[in-house]
Structure 1
Amino acid sequence: MITEVAILRIKRGTRQSFENAFNEAQSIIAAMDGYLHHELQRCIEEENKYLLLVQWQTLEDHVDGFRKHDAYKQWQALLHPFYDPAPVVEHFEKIY
């Protein structure tokens, strides 16, 4: 299992619209092969900052499965207009 970690910074004044779009987009990611779980957290100190955690069975499920799937275009259309700047996505594996 791996965890995808993304810090999402969104444009000011778009918080509610972003959360509504994410509510719609989460069904896209949840339908992907290898998907296990996700959560979106809003930062307390910075209202336009979020933490997205997604657990996948393998790195390939995310990179090759989801990002190369046609459904990723819908994910992008829903969420990418809110990002400022584009998020950095990293992958982690549990040690303990």
Structure 2
Amino acid sequence: MPPTPLEEAVASGLPVWRIPTTPSGWEADDLDHLPQAPCHTELLDGVLVFRSAPQRYGHTLLVEGIIVALRQAAPEGVHAAREMTVRLDKWADGAHV
């Protein structure tokens, strides 16, 4: 009998925590239970994506500029934040930081 995907992944040296528990892949709720996942882990279409950090200096300046503009334009009681989780559906979680 051929090896299962889990057996193949373990044999390749892939850490077990990086193997999805369902055939459809990872779901957004799974990220809350993956303390081993590195910072800046994203979930796109059921697949874990590991962003490199820190971002380039130009990216940092752009993000800071957008945050400043949003904070200045925000009405009373509305706050702009960066590096937060945005859940689109159960297979796509913007970022887990």
Superposition TM-score tier, normalisation by shorter sequence: under 0.3
User: Which has the bigger relative contact order, CA under 8 A and spacing at least 6?
Assistant: 1
Greater strand share, structure number: 1
**How high is the TM-score relative to the length of structure 2?**
0.24
Greater helix share, structure number: 1
**How high is the TM-score relative to the length of structure 1?**
0.24
